[in-house]
Structure 1
């Protein structure tokens, strides 16, 4: 549970960094889609690591 929480915290920090970089993005829905894709990708890779 703790590691999960840490991951979430870490993810939030990464997301904030990413958002600061991507302020140029005027199309918020596009940005949201991109973030969703990134989150899905990272969760898939996490699952792979967890399985091993």
Structure 2
């Protein structure tokens, strides 16, 4: 789960994590920041479910 507009954990951090764990599943949440579960609870829940189902 990654809010792409997160000012704290930027996409540079995400890219670094991808280098360490290239096969890890990540749900990218465009337009959301550091608290995507608060900013868009429905989108967050849908993304979480998609990670659990895959």
User: Is TM (by shorter chain) over 0.5?
Assistant: no
User: TM (normalized to structure 2)?
Assistant: 0.37
| Rg (Cα) greater in structure | 1
Q: Higher relative contact order by CA 8 Å / sep ≥ 6: 1 or 2? A: 2
User: TM (normalized to structure 1)?
Assistant: 0.38
